[in-house]
Amino acid sequence: MKIDILTLFPNMFDGVLQSSILKKAQENHVFSYQTHDFRTYADNKHNKVDDYPYGGGAGMVLMPQPIFAAVASIQQSTEKSPRVILMCPQGERFTQKKAEELAEEEHIIFICGHYEGYDERIREHLVTDEISIGDFVLTGGELGAMVVIDSVVRLLPEGLGNEISAKEDSFSTGLLEHPHYTRPAEFKGYEVPEVLRSGHHGKIEEWRKKESLRRTFLRRPDLLESYVLSKEERAWLEEIKQEEKNQ
């Protein structure tokens, strides 16, 4: 996957994209990225990228020309039209499902804005997606883009080095992930559940599925509204409800 990032602060991305799993993914040619300071695409003497909004109001608005020019320059070097994502608090809320969708793309361009907002013509005539990482406002789109990139890259083949890890993540199955334990078996009097130490793979798998369902029911019951329960899971859910009631 190829990722291009339009930003006024290119150096912000180095610490995140050059570390840990993302660094290894680049070394293994899972993805590549390039940052572009779209200020350099401005066609005015002072490389100005923002201006006052028509009609008045607080703040400055990003002008269309530098961003259109930057995207056009990037597209010249690619045959297939890339996905162009605008990071914006007004956008679609980012989900695991969206990450899985974007992981199928070959080329993605991220536009990271600042100031009061974007000239509306950028939204209407340039981007394919508008994404928000939550119902809050950041000083710019860079942190949001990093979150989306991390979430997408880990889903790419060999992105994690273990494809099963991504498939079993919270939200990937529609439920929250089950609890995890590691050695020692006993720590400060707290023990690892006996079933996990039994070596019985069938029982372990059943325990994990049931605990995944329990965690979802207790922490994110809203997810169960769109999740289709199997007959076995419906029975487990009734057991869980009774167990929690009796505690």
Active site residues: 89, 116, 154, 169
Rounded to an integer, what distance in angstroms lies between the CA atom of residue 28 and that of residue 8? 28
Two structure tokens written together for 156: 């790419």
- Residue 5 host element (H or E): strand 2-7
User: Is there a binding annotation on residue 240?
Assistant: no
Rounded to an integer, what distance in angstroms lies between the CA atom of residue 90 and that of residue 141? 12
Query: Contact, 195 vs 203, CB < 8 A?
Result: yes
Q: 């020692």: which residue's tokens?
A: 184
User: Is there a binding annotation on residue 51?
Assistant: no
Rounded to an integer, what distance in angstroms lies between the CA atom of residue 37 and that of residue 214? 47
Beta bridge partners of 130: 86
User: Is there a binding annotation on residue 94?
Assistant: no
Angle value at C-alpha 48, between 47 and 51, nearest 5 degrees: 165
Query: Contact, 113 vs 126, CB < 8 A?
Result: no
Q: 């995890």: which residue's tokens?
A: 180
Q: 């570390």: which residue's tokens?
A: 19
User: Is there a binding annotation on residue 136?
Assistant: yes
Q: 């992105």: which residue's tokens?
A: 159
Mutual orientation of helices 231-246 and 201-219 as an angle, nearest 10°? 60
What DSSP character marks residue 50?
A: E
User: Is there a binding annotation on residue 110?
Assistant: no
Question: Which residues are annotated binding-site positions?
Answer: 113, 133-138
Question: Which residues are annotated binding-site positions for S-adenosyl-L-methionine?
Answer: 113, 133-138
